[in-house]
Amino acid sequence: SSQNLSEEFAEAARQLRKEAPRIQFGKMDVTHQHDLRKEFNIQTFPAVKFFVNGSREDPIDCKGVRKASTFITWVKRRTGPSTVLINSTDQAEAIIKADDLAVIGFFRELHNGSVEVFCETAREVPEMPFGMTASEDVCADYGIQRNSLVVFKKGKPVHKEVLEDGRQNKLGLTRLIKTFTLDLVTEYNIETSVKIFDVPVENHILLFTPANSETFSEIYENYQAAAAEFRGKILFVVVDTDEARNGRMFEYFRIRDIDVPAVRILNLTSDARYKMPADEVTVENLKEFCQSYLDGKAK
């Protein structure tokens, strides 16, 4: 809610006043300020924008940040280095174990395009610590030979992405890394719905099925196996059709009792909805559906 965000924003301002006095914080109710809303293209509330060097042109959007601590990290990474330089394995371990999630970049040298993209991505993902190293010893200790980004969850590596000059872009990496703040398959409910929309992946696939049916665990396993292949491109969500509070979701997707289990893809930007042509929720059918959607061939 706006009220909650407003309090977190004020808390961040209080803390940063001591550490970074040059950064000014302001709050504005734009209900009647139509000109300002238009000038800064504010369509959803609350909106946070960061103005650099006194310029009104092209402020930077601060999206999906809801906690004071994340605000502070976001601002610091915009105004200073966005990653911690790691020189020893002990230092790497300390970063990996300090939080639930951590991202480490392993590089051969610290001056190339991959490093730049890595640092830019760190600015977009203030929810987790980012470190990078070009130490041969550290890379050897983790068994990494090529420029790579590794996501650690609860101290263990859960994803490795080889970074090649010019191949990855900031947006793709940001999307991929942010998906790790959610489970591979996210169950839709009141709490998770907010988090689902905070992850900047515009393609969502939804599985509508009763969670207490005999076939649930088999279907869920198939769904999870497909999810692993499309991480960062399509967000996998499961909707329990036994849960009365999910009624609005069934109406929106026009799902009836006789349709379940049902699989749909939703594009958040165009609001277009797609139905999986096959009836059975197998890994093969799911993969085919997702791939045809990404290739622009789904109906």
Give the model's pLDDT for residue 53: 85
Instruction: Compute CA distances 279 → 104, 123, 194, 261, whole Å.
Output: 41, 42, 30, 8
Per-residue pLDDT tens digits for 120-176: 999 999 999 999 999 999 999 999 988 999 999 999 999 999 998 766 788 899 999
Lowest mean pLDDT among 27-41, 95-109, 175-189, 228-242: 27-41
Model confidence at 188, in pLDDT bands (50, 70, 90)? very high
Model confidence at 19, in pLDDT bands (50, 70, 90)? confident
Model confidence at 287, in pLDDT bands (50, 70, 90)? very high
% of the chain with per-residue pLDDT over 90: 69
Q: What is the arithmetic mean of pLDDT over 227-253?
A: 93
User: What distance lies between CA 261 and its chain's CA centroid?
Assistant: 27
pTM confidence score: 0.85
Q: Tell me the H-state helices in 84-157.
A: 89-98, 113-124, 136-141
User: What distance lies between CA 133 and its chain's CA centroid?
Assistant: 24
Give the model's pLDDT for residue 1: 61
Q: Which residue(s) pair with 131 in the sheet?
A: 84, 104
Spatial CB neighbours of 271, under 8 Å, sequence gap ≥ 6: none
% of the chain with per-residue pLDDT over 70: 99
230 vs 45: which has the higher pLDDT: 230
Q: What is the arithmetic mean of pLDDT over 217-240?
A: 96
Arithmetic mean of pLDDT over the chain: 92
Give the model's pLDDT for residue 24: 87
Give the model's pLDDT for residue 166: 66
Q: Sketch out the chain's domains with CATH numbers.
A: 1-79 (3.40.30.10), 84-178 (3.40.30.10), 183-295 (3.40.30.10)
d(CA 299, CA 297): 7
d(CA 35, CA 39): 6
Give the DSSP per-residue string, 244-280.
GGGHHHHHHHT--GGG-SEEEEEETTT--EEE-SSSS
Give the model's pLDDT for residue 32: 84
In this predicted structure, the answer to whether residue 190 has a pLDDT above a threshold of 90 is: no
Lowest mean pLDDT among 147-151, 190-194, 280-284: 190-194
Model confidence at 65, in pLDDT bands (50, 70, 90)? confident
**21 prior amide bond cis, ω within 30:** no
Q: Which of 43-47, 50-54, 279-283 has the highest mean pLDDT?
A: 279-283
Give the model's pLDDT for residue 88: 97
* CA neighbor of 183 nearest in space, from 161, 155, 211, 154: 154
Give the model's pLDDT for residue 195: 87
- The single-letter DSSP state of residue 282 is -
